[in-house]
Structure 1
Amino acid sequence: MELAQMIKSRRSIKRFEDREVSTALISELLDTAVWAPNHHLTQPWRFILFNGEGREKFANAVKEWKMAKETNPAKKEEEGNKLYQKLMSNPAFLLVVMKENSNLAQREEDAAAISCLIQNFSLLAWEQNIGMTWHTQGWLQEQMVREAIGVKPGERIVANIHLGYPEMIPKAQPRTPAAELLTIIESK
């Protein structure tokens, strides 16, 4: 598929087949995705992959946080289990973690580079018939969850990518043509 067509055909996938994506394939896609533009070549990223039975570690960490947060004792277990089941319906979770540079300008450039890396990964995965959705749930910043999944102080989770083989591919949503958003200045 040509790049322009791939960009236009890619979708955010929320429902996946009950089929594992190989860790080796995910690693191979990441090896290419890291060729994203990156000012000063800081390479501020690292990845945490929860795949196969490893998904349980991630889902349990979030479940425990949900249960600790729930104020109604009668709902604690129910709410925790509901979130656990929802998470376990995803074949894999890939966390993209950024080292937070103390220099604000560099941190902004690093965040932009990571966004480019995620787009690269998304297109590479789509080329392999793997779909994904980029999530930034608030609980990813909760200390209890961060510690349980191995996120260190001074790091920020930029993305919680749910990925797998699509069960259903949604229809394209319309985009505003760039021409409607473009200001052209061709003279002084």
Structure 2
Amino acid sequence: MSQQEGINVVEQNIIDRRTIKSFKKDPISAEVIIELLNVAKWAPNHKLTEPWRFQLYVDEGKEQFVQAYIDSQPKVDGEVPEKVNRKAQYFRDIPVHLVVIMPEDPRQRRWDEDYGAISSLIQNFQLAAWEREIGMIWRTNDWVYDPAFREAIDVLPGEKVVATLMIGYPKHIPEAQPRTDIRELITIINK
């Protein structure tokens, strides 16, 4: 990751970060994840509500996450489909799973502010991890809404799973995909 002329380290880290889907099996300690979350918590957070809680699945604890996924999937003739078993094995091979959960405040403005804060925290977490050469994918698959999955991982009524972050050292870093120049998307009002 070389630094481009005129771009500082923070800007370069934002540009270089990638979503990682292929991970090495090297472990990452719970303590490293906690250190990164302690950096990420400095996200903008209106009224300092800190609308987040986390469930960290590492080592043998990952099996609870994987089993919750399996239990949330439809069975075929009472059997777990091979496609589900393959995905479950993929999840087992990922070093760390972090579930990010927020309370769903019934007041729309607070809900929006909390969701913005928790999304900012996740982005901070991704960038801090990337600086340590740790990658991840932020997933919000259909199964995170399934009652079987939610119950199996102790997500309470009135809470939202904002992300399941699958974390590890990248086996492969994808190339950057083009992004639209903001000049094409901005309207400047100056009078």
Q: Same fold (TM over 0.5)?
A: yes
Distance 2:21 2:84 in 1: 20
Query: Structure 1 pair 74/43, CA: closer, same or farther in 2 (3 Å)?
Result: closer
| Alignment-derived partner of residue 129 in structure 1 | 133
C-alpha root-mean-square deviation of aligned residues, in Å? 1.4
- Runs of 4+ off more than 4 Å: none
Instruction: Give percent identity, aligned residues only.
Output: 45
Whether the 8 Å CA contact 2:70–2:80 is kept in 1: the answer is no
1:44 partnered with 2:51: yes
TM-score w.r.t. structure 1 length? 0.93
* SS in structure 2 at match of 1:44: coil
- Letter of the aligned partner of 1:124 in structure 2? A
| Alignment-derived partner of residue 181 in structure 1 | 185
Query: Structure 1 pair 55/181, CA: closer, same or farther in 2 (3 Å)?
Result: same
1:167 partnered with 2:171: yes
One of 63, 71, 80 as aligned partner of 1:64: 71
In structure 1, stretches of 5+ residues that fail to align are none
* Structure-to-structure mapping, 1:8-47, within 5 angstroms: 8-47=15-54
In structure 2, stretches of 5+ residues that fail to align are 4-8
TM-score w.r.t. structure 2 length? 0.92
* Structure-to-structure mapping, 1:69-88, within 5 angstroms: 69-70=74-75, 72-73=76-77, 75-76=79-80, 78-88=82-92
Give 1:64 deviation, angstroms.
Answer: 2.1
Distance 1:168 1:77 in 2: 28
Give 1:127 deviation, angstroms.
Answer: 0.3
Q: Which moved more, 1:87-96 or 1:75-84?
A: 75-84
Q: Which moved more, 1:137-146 or 1:119-128?
A: 137-146
Query: Structure 1 pair 99/185, CA: closer, same or farther in 2 (3 Å)?
Result: same
One of 145, 149, 158 as aligned partner of 1:145: 149
